[in-house]
Structure 1
């Protein structure tokens, strides 16, 4: 808002600090060390809803050094770190009145003589207020602005009655907009539920029930397991790999699993693959370009994000590939950080993986996309979480992941199941894309409302309103009186 604005009659352009009061700083030497406080830091704010959703409690002797500013109801907490993240909220409950906020906030407290607190709150959410501050940020790790940068921003100030009208109009429009957003998010959640239902139906044999009834030569589940065992033995002999027996599924486990058609059977993941390896258990030396090197965070159900990949040298890639080499058609399965996400490698170029990614090489009778979908089903995902151990560094160990139980069927039926799943999920993907576009449009509409509000275009002006310039004179007089002890009469201003 640093650019010169053409404002309606009765409005003025003013530095934010001219209409704000400073928050008091706690003198910690004067407080009782054992007394308690409620502390608000950046983590207290939900940057989507712009509300305070949590707080911390300390005694003063244990409180962080940034616990400095006394806040009151209606104050605006404006994070000076990464302003583009919009960690902004208003103190709306008496619970936090008189409590303590981090020095990482600029506390914006409007003078009630000239400002409506909600008007200033919505102003700080507008892109026209945030963008100039984004450009002023300094620092690399934690780009930030100073309090003085925030308070020096020029803002449009309408007459006080018009501020009230603007706030009422914004809240009416936002209420309607939020209802629409809530409906979109409900639809989004329903799509996720439907997608999981599709996978559940698929792997219980329900999506291919009609197709299966038309087949006359399908093997039964026992024959499929025998075929897979024979295939694995043959592949391992050809590759010179020691064949490791699969832990049988116990009768107790089987009793808890859904009943399958006779043409399907329960197996363990180890029955479907001939190799499972992960990447190096150390951070390699990275470089600006070379062979892409990905971790678990790069793997999504809809593909691999190579834009955020790191790079290693060709020589290191060749060395690492001696133990674990991702090839087209392999399954990449996240085993560290966010665990239990599977994706087929559909890429024609070479890359390598870190320890947080397992590379599964499947048997010839396994459709890789069948394996991808079944591993991403709720049944398998739940098991992946059960087998994920650790608190800080979570890990889905290789020896545990191969114990995951999953349904298996003939390759012909796998192909049918994949086609049935993807035809349905492709519709979900299109609907999801439409919902995301609508949500983006809703945010653009929100900013459009704010832009009109602070340009004087949202509500009509009333020529009988006391001009904002008179309010500023009143603030100046108050401040002068406070500093000099003298009563200063306001000069009359033309309305």
Structure 2
């Protein structure tokens, strides 16, 4: 049995259920015509897709709702809400969070869902369950869309996900055990995060001291020819190779990250990469990755670049390709790119005009060579430290995943025979739903044929109809099924 699988033998007192069985309802957010600027605390804002990662909620990641634009305040996010990312990149679709604190006047977007647990389901337990390996794996399997773009999980698919339900008292024991163990991991993770930030700050400080004394130039001033976009090429087995966007790293282009495209060598010829080319990402869902550049160090076999990249060919009499690789990673360049990038459908983009205007300091060629040699030594030391931090993060993530897997398979805390079994809890939940459904049925007026309605209206005034139930918060019944700080590796 793999780590994320549900055990075939149920722990004592547990029950096999679907998420829809233990939720009162799933509430979908609403789409708003928003302005790109963030909303202040005094105005209504809509949360962005990037606001939610596994276990994290960044209330600063939001957009403003234009004044006078109609909206329903029932979509407002409040502390205690359990939110789930309905539409996101492959790494973050289904990302869930229990909102601990949140500013007022912040609205749920149409790319997010709010999960309302049934009576008797511990809210903290449910939040941990949603981040467990079993749930994450099932969400990944059921999400639709392409792996390289946005993925979606529907309300119906989410409600149909299988899980195990422990007794109420054991839910609370699981939460207590997880909080004790995960708090230690969180403290260690914070230390690793700070260490990583210090390494980045050290590199930026060194780079600034090395280059700040020189006069700035624009990227367009050091090109031998204009910037050029790549070409969009469908996949076809046996076709001419084209790079994937994943080929761009923080340093050099990984030419092994390629696919076979639906074109031939003659069509691909204008888009072939050469040694010394500098490739830049046109767009990305993450603002920190848009405009990232990498250098082509060597081209052992021909390959073209796609429309997701922009190629810069440098004037060797003015700038060393290695120097551009170094200075392009500077904080000053990143600030320019991120401040000028445009956002479309949640994707941050840059174009040739924006990139041509990016400025950076440029010394003469001999000084560039000396700076590149000095930087190489500094970068090597920083890489060694960063590798140590990365290995520790992976170990922490694996331990976190294992703890969650054990907890929701019934192996983290002992079962207590005195606990009321989960079947009794499920029976109460079903009874409450049936009672609520019967109450709604009695309140509805019997349906009459059109002729009957006309005769009644001719003879007597119709009684006031009761208000309709909220359409945006359907109960998860069989009849109406709606259509923690670390990135945990799957």
Indicate the TM-score class for this superposition, using the shorter chain for normalisation: 0.5 to 0.7
Distance, in Å, in 2 between the alignment partners of 1:356 and 1:484 is 62
Q: Which has the higher contact order (CA 8 A, sep 6+)?
A: 2
Pick one of 288, 292, 298 that aligns with 1:346.
298
Distance, in Å, in 1 between the alignment partners of 2:252 and 2:228 is 22
Deviations 1:391-431 (A, max 9, x none): 86443578756x85422363xx7655444322331222232
Pick one of 116, 123, 136 that aligns with 1:109.
116
| Length, aligned pairs only | 404
Distance, in Å, in 2 between the alignment partners of 1:272 and 1:110 is 59
Show the counterpart of 1:474: 428
Contact 2:217 2:360 (8 Å CA) reproduced = yes
Distance, in Å, in 1 between the alignment partners of 2:219 and 2:62 is 46
CA distance 1:104–1:285, shift in 2 (3 Å) = closer
Show the counterpart of 1:167: 175
Distance, in Å, in 1 between the alignment partners of 2:278 and 2:377 is 23
Pick one of 124, 134, 158 that aligns with 2:130.
124
- Shift of the alpha carbon at 1:126? 0.8
Show the counterpart of 1:22: 25
Deviations 1:380-401 (A, max 9, x none): x379759979886443578756
Distance, in Å, in 1 between the alignment partners of 2:423 and 2:197 is 50
Distance, in Å, in 2 between the alignment partners of 1:386 and 1:455 is 44
Q: Secondary structure at the match of 2:224?
A: strand
Structure 2: which 5+ residue stretches go unaligned? Answer: 30-41, 284-289, 344-348, 440-490
In the TM superposition, 1:64-143 aligns within 5 A as: 74-81=80-87, 85=92, 86-93=94-101, 101=108, 105-112=112-119, 114-138=120-144, 143=151
Q: Secondary structure at the match of 2:225?
A: strand
**RMSD of the alignment, in Å?**
4.7
Say whether residues 1:327 and 2:303 are aligned partners.
no
Which has the higher mean CA deviation after the structures are superposed, 179-188 or 369-378? 369-378
Contact 2:277 2:321 (8 Å CA) reproduced = yes
Contact 1:339 1:395 (8 Å CA) reproduced = no
Say whether residues 1:439 and 2:393 are aligned partners.
yes
Contact 2:253 2:296 (8 Å CA) reproduced = no
Which has the higher mean CA deviation after the structures are superposed, 345-354 or 436-445? 345-354
Pick one of 315, 319, 335 that aligns with 2:266.
315
Distance, in Å, in 2 between the alignment partners of 1:189 and 1:333 is 26
Distance, in Å, in 2 between the alignment partners of 1:270 and 1:75 is 47
Contact 1:2 1:154 (8 Å CA) reproduced = no
Pick one of 395, 411, 415 that aligns with 1:457.
411
- Shift of the alpha carbon at 1:450? 0.9
Contact 1:294 1:309 (8 Å CA) reproduced = yes
Q: TM-score, normalised by structure 2?
A: 0.65
Say whether residues 1:369 and 2:322 are aligned partners.
yes
Show the counterpart of 2:162: 154
CA distance 1:6–1:448, shift in 2 (3 Å) = same
Structure 1: which 5+ residue stretches go unaligned? Answer: 27-35, 205-256, 260-265, 486-495
- Shift of the alpha carbon at 1:455? 2.1
Distance, in Å, in 1 between the alignment partners of 2:337 and 2:77 is 42
Say whether residues 1:277 and 2:225 are aligned partners.
yes
Distance, in Å, in 2 between the alignment partners of 1:42 and 1:456 is 35
CA distance 1:8–1:57, shift in 2 (3 Å) = same
Distance, in Å, in 1 between the alignment partners of 2:114 and 2:354 is 47
Q: TM-score, normalised by structure 1?
A: 0.65
- Shift of the alpha carbon at 1:118? 0.9
Q: Which has the larger radius of gyration?
A: 1
Distance, in Å, in 2 between the alignment partners of 1:94 and 1:378 is 30
Distance, in Å, in 1 between the alignment partners of 2:19 and 2:221 is 65
Contact 1:369 1:418 (8 Å CA) reproduced = yes
Say whether residues 1:197 and 2:238 are aligned partners.
no
Show the counterpart of 2:379: 425
Show the counterpart of 1:258: 213
Q: Secondary structure at the match of 2:116?
A: strand
